[in-house]
Structure 1
Amino acid sequence: MTGKHLTRRSMLKLAGLSLFGAAVAACGGTPAPTATPAKPAAEPTKPVAAATPAPAAKGIVLKGMMWGGSQRDEQRDAALRAVYPDLPKVEFVVGGSGDFEVANTLRLALASGDKNNIPDIVQFNKTQVPEFAIAGELMDLGDIYDKYKNDIYAGVAEVCQYDKKWVGFPLQLKSKLFYYRGDMFEKAGIKTSDIKTTADFITVGKAFHEKFPNSYIINMGPQPAGYFGWEIYSAYDNARFADPDGKWVVANAQWFNDGFKFFKDILDNKISLPIEDFSTDWQKGFKENAIAGSLIAQWMANFLPTYVPDQKGLWKYELWPVFQPMADQRYGSDAAGSLKVIFKKCPHPKEAADYMTKWALDKTGVLAVAKGQGLTPMIKSAKDEFIAWTKKGEKPPALTDAQWQVYPSNFFGPDYYEVEFKSYDYLKSFVYDPSATKEKPILDQWLNKYLTGAVGLAEALKNAEADMKQQIGNPYKI
């Protein structure tokens, strides 16, 4: 089936019924991150027994909303039905081109007062969750997670919990990985195990560029990619713009201070190719061997193989270096991750929760979706079977031959997922508040001024905080 887009008439109808002007904030605030996750256990947890199929509810049709397109959700649904054929049918609706638009669509639906306007299953990024969790709109999934909580990665708890309550099912964990050209590093005599500090990284970056004058260990210009900063800042405990009382902490925040300094060291020492991520020159930089590394999130595994398919087997991967004296940079994330939530007021919350449990937490369903569409499992008990399956080279029915050729385990090597799974236990989230969409541009503006030498570090952070106070006030009052 093809996912539907909300019509202009439907949107206008909802807009006319809503208090739209009071609900514009795109990012919600998140709770303080949980304590630093324990190191991954040596042995996987015992698998949870498969969920018992529930009789299909007669006449029930669930509505699932996502952004961008519905093809992947449709493919996953088809794979799930191969093992659970009695699940209710699902109609997939595209709520916008991105996560912010989906969140706005839900604000309108809730304001309409008509539960039929509220989808049963909604895709969010973690940054959208707090707004609706604070308002008490999201279904409490605690009873479900009581059965599965010992079978999930620490990153799942970071993404799917708010204020210690389970409010969603995991879709993607945006943990941090370091991708690099193993062949070029070897020729330059560089071992990643020697990179323990930020100073080590600068030294290695210089040595690499000396060996390969037309190549750089990473790319970064005077305006680093937005997610690069948050990946660094989120490694710190309780990293945030303001405390829960609305008191700003930017000027004296260790996470911003350390991150800004690291970026400046990279630029001043000329170890990065000065182009931006997702610019027109980015792919070209990889293709021409000008970019030989990327400190980024695990989602890069879905892009890099399509950029340079001829470099198959040359790229290596591992957790980020610790990067002392900063907080342990193996931890952190790019906006934590994405998840599926269920609104209390939707037409079929119980049936939606049962569907998503089988889709995201039940081993039988999880493996069916993984093997049918290629989605990485988020439960530990599925890990070994999933990895064994990827090593067999059996193409998921939903993928084309071309897509299968650039599948991570084919492009990077059969052991790729061992490292990605390991990274899930190192995921931590930055503590976003409801005004994050206003705070981020202000911080980035002063970061750019600092990196270009217009202001000093202390002045940059002090002025960023002053601008936030003036332009935003209390970030929790929107």
Structure 2
Amino acid sequence: MVFGTSSDAGGGSSRTLRSRRSLLRAASGLGVAALAGGTLTGCSQSSSGATRVRLWSWLTGMDQYVAAFNASQRDVHVELSVIAAGTSGGYAQQTNAIRAHNAPDILHTEYQALPQIVTTGGLRDLTDDVADLADGFLPAAWRSVRPDGRTWAVPMDFCPMAFFHRKDLFDKAGVQVPRTWEEFAEAAAAVRRTDPRARITTFPLNDGAFFAGMAWQAGDPWWRVAGDSWQVGIDTKGTMGMAGYWQDLVSSGKVAHTPTADQSWISSLHQGRLWGMLGATWGVGVMKRSLPTAKGKWAVTTLPTWGDKAVNGAFGGSAFAVAAQSEVPEAALTFLRWLSTDPAVPRIGAKVTFPSPAYLPSRKVAREAYKNEFFAGEPLFDVFDRAATRVPDWTWGPTSLSVFSSIADVLAPVPTGGTTIPRALHTLQSSTVATMRERGLAVRNGGRA
């Protein structure tokens, strides 16, 4: 059974849940029992007598959220330590702290990294603690914090993907904004005919998280659970179809393949040489910061679809877990419930970023609080609310982060013809299976390689 599907919501049999947890923990060989003797260092009370909760996070605006929470009551006092973003060192720092028995009470994790952190045995099982919240979240976000049918974190935000485009340039050239990927390929050719220097977008070959988001839309989760084994299927039908499509566009020069968000990319946007970006909700802030003089030129729509099937991928989003070592789990959960569900949070978020809460009532608050003065076209929350409901089931495995890194390596030769995107996926499939087996996991090769 696939991790995180709605059929897991009821918990399943205890034997099944135990076997799934063992699959996760076997990746590191470190279970909760190995950590039971560890305790947090330092006093659990602040100078005011409130219960002290330590939080590590890199989330934009977290300092303001913490300040608002601390000002709202006297029983719990959260102390924030800002750490590097997850793949820039934050995950290693948290994992090392778990192993050293000095983890903070609350840890920050993106959805794709959660199974890997669960393998440390260092997270508190929150299944019973937050069961009452389940129906309040976007289904895809809630499934993402339940990799083995148990709840290991509380969702904060969720980032469905979208197509950001220069509405003014599309309108002027008479090019229809594509609704399907077939129309997208036609639009890509039309953009190049209009301006030989211009491209409809870039397909960044160095970004594993982006590539996974595009594969998510195409279907076929890369990891599944088959009995007591992981089934790995990266080079299966959905992902391979998506890969072949983009290989044609890259090799024909109809799309660029340069990284997103570097200086060359920003320059191309300023000069009108890139008419679009495949991104997610965080792209609202990226565009506003990168193109402050482009007000009214850009619009956002849901991703083009494969045929008439209305499915969307996701690219990012955060959740927060409680350390198994924490001496103050109830106080930590008091903050996490506030962070994920209190209407003050999206109102604060609307001032510092584009809020994309995972909690459904907070999405309504965010819609009212955020003032869009940059984008033309359809209202942003109409687009992203529709996209969020289209995100299907997906499984993240215990080696997701290393796979992201490997994607950049195996796709690096694509621009020079050293390989193709489909061939690179066969290589990735083989290396992923081998790596998981080296870590002592039972693995079935479910790919086509």
TM-score range, shorter chain: 0.7 to 0.9
Distance 1:150 1:247 in 2: 29
Consecutive unaligned residues in structure 1, runs of 5 or more:
1-29, 37-55, 392-408
Report the CA distance shift for 1:158/1:188 in structure 2 as closer, same or farther (over 3 A). Answer: farther
Are the aligned partners of 1:80 and 1:369 in contact in 2 as well (CA < 8 Å)? no
1:418 pairs with one of 382, 391, 399:
382
1:431 pairs with one of 364, 387, 395:
395
- Matched residue, 2:69: 80
Partner SS for 2:49: coil
Report the CA distance shift for 1:456/1:147 in structure 2 as closer, same or farther (over 3 A). Answer: closer
- Matched residue, 1:53: none
Distance 2:410 2:351 in 1: 46
Distance 1:151 1:179 in 2: 29
Partner SS for 2:89: helix
Are the aligned partners of 1:124 and 1:338 in contact in 2 as well (CA < 8 Å)? yes
User: Aligned pair 1:34/2:5, yes or no?
Assistant: yes
- Matched residue, 1:340: 320
Distance 2:435 2:154 in 1: 35
Report the CA distance shift for 1:339/1:228 in structure 2 as closer, same or farther (over 3 A). Answer: same
Q: How does 1:29-428 map to 2 (within 5 A)?
A: 32=3, 34=5, 58-67=49-58, 72-81=61-70, 84-99=72-87, 101-113=89-101, 117-134=102-119, 136-192=121-177, 194-196=178-180, 198-220=181-203, 223=205, 225-240=207-222, 245-246=229-230, 248-251=232-235, 253-324=236-307, 328=309, 330-334=311-315, 336-363=316-343, 365-367=344-346, 369-370=348-349, 373=352, 375-391=355-371, 409-412=372-375, 415-428=379-392
Deviation, structure 1 residue 457? 6.7
Name the aligned partner's letter for residue 233 of structure 1. A
Report the CA distance shift for 1:383/1:97 in structure 2 as closer, same or farther (over 3 A). Answer: closer
Name the aligned partner's letter for residue 412 of structure 1. F
Distance 1:231 1:284 in 2: 25
Name the aligned partner's letter for residue 360 of structure 1. S
Are the aligned partners of 2:201 and 2:278 in contact in 1 as well (CA < 8 Å)? yes
Deviation, structure 1 residue 175? 1.3
Distance 1:64 1:118 in 2: 9
Name the aligned partner's letter for residue 76 of structure 1. Y
Distance 2:185 2:393 in 1: 26
Q: Normalising to structure 2: TM-score of the pair?
A: 0.77
Are the aligned partners of 2:86 and 2:109 in contact in 1 as well (CA < 8 Å)? no
Report the CA distance shift for 1:141/1:470 in structure 2 as closer, same or farther (over 3 A). Answer: closer
Are the aligned partners of 2:107 and 2:322 in contact in 1 as well (CA < 8 Å)? yes
Are the aligned partners of 2:61 and 2:352 in contact in 1 as well (CA < 8 Å)? yes
Deviation, structure 1 residue 185? 0.9
Deviation, structure 1 residue 454? 3.5
Consecutive unaligned residues in structure 2, runs of 5 or more:
8-45, 443-449
Report the CA distance shift for 1:33/1:352 in structure 2 as closer, same or farther (over 3 A). Answer: closer
Deviation, structure 1 residue 123? 0.9
Distance 1:184 1:311 in 2: 12
Deviation, structure 1 residue 264? 0.9
Distance 2:159 2:368 in 1: 23
Distance 1:210 1:441 in 2: 35
Deviation, structure 1 residue 110? 2.6
Report the CA distance shift for 1:429/1:440 in structure 2 as closer, same or farther (over 3 A). Answer: farther
Partner SS for 1:124: strand
Distance 1:444 1:271 in 2: 21
Identity across the alignment (%): 16
Q: Normalising to structure 1: TM-score of the pair?
A: 0.73
Q: How many residues align?
A: 399
Deviations 1:333-379 (A, max 9, x none): 12x5211111122121101101111121234x445544665544432
Are the aligned partners of 1:159 and 1:338 in contact in 2 as well (CA < 8 Å)? no
Report the CA distance shift for 1:108/1:266 in structure 2 as closer, same or farther (over 3 A). Answer: same
Report the CA distance shift for 1:269/1:421 in structure 2 as closer, same or farther (over 3 A). Answer: same
Partner SS for 1:142: coil
Pairwise CA RMSD: 3.3
- Matched residue, 1:24: none
Name the aligned partner's letter for residue 331 of structure 1. N
Name the aligned partner's letter for residue 337 of structure 2. T
Name the aligned partner's letter for residue 118 of structure 1. A
